[in-house]
Amino acid sequence: MSETIKQPYWNRLVEECKNKIEKKFKEYENSWEYTTDSEFWKKRLQDEVNELKEKLWQFPDELKVMKECVDVINICAMIYSIQAKRYHDWVNDGGR
């Protein structure tokens, strides 16, 4: 018996994440790239996760839940992007 692994709504989540970033870009541009303070990002991520945890089971429809999840995913993507840039800069500087 072969079962297929069910996948979350990846395409829909990716599309929502992109839409949110594009909407916010007009307001903030790429300013998040220059905020490299790890404590800032730890707090920002924790605040988003806490907000999601509080609201998760209160929402009557999936769209509102997805929008809260999108905020957490986008914060994680920003953190990853900053860390990746720092790593590439470190490698380009000879790993010193």
40-94 pLDDT, tens per residue?
999 999 998 998 888 877 777 777 788 888 999 999 998 998 888 888 888 888 8
Residue 78 in domain: yes
Residue 80 in domain: yes
Residue 68 in domain: yes
Average pLDDT value over all residues in the chain: 85
Domain count, the chain: 1
What percentage of the chain carries pLDDT values higher than 90? 20
> Which residues have a Cβ under 8 Å from the Cβ of 92 and sit 6 or more positions away?
none
Residue 96 in domain: yes
Q: Using one digit for the tens of pLDDT, what is the confidence trace for 18-51?
A: 999 899 888 888 888 888 888 999 999 999 899 8
Provide the residue range defining the domain that includes 61. 48-96
Q: Is pTM beyond 0.75 here?
A: no
Q: Quote the pLDDT of residue 18.
A: 93
Residue 3 in domain: no
Residue 33 in domain: no
Q: Quote the pLDDT of residue 90.
A: 85
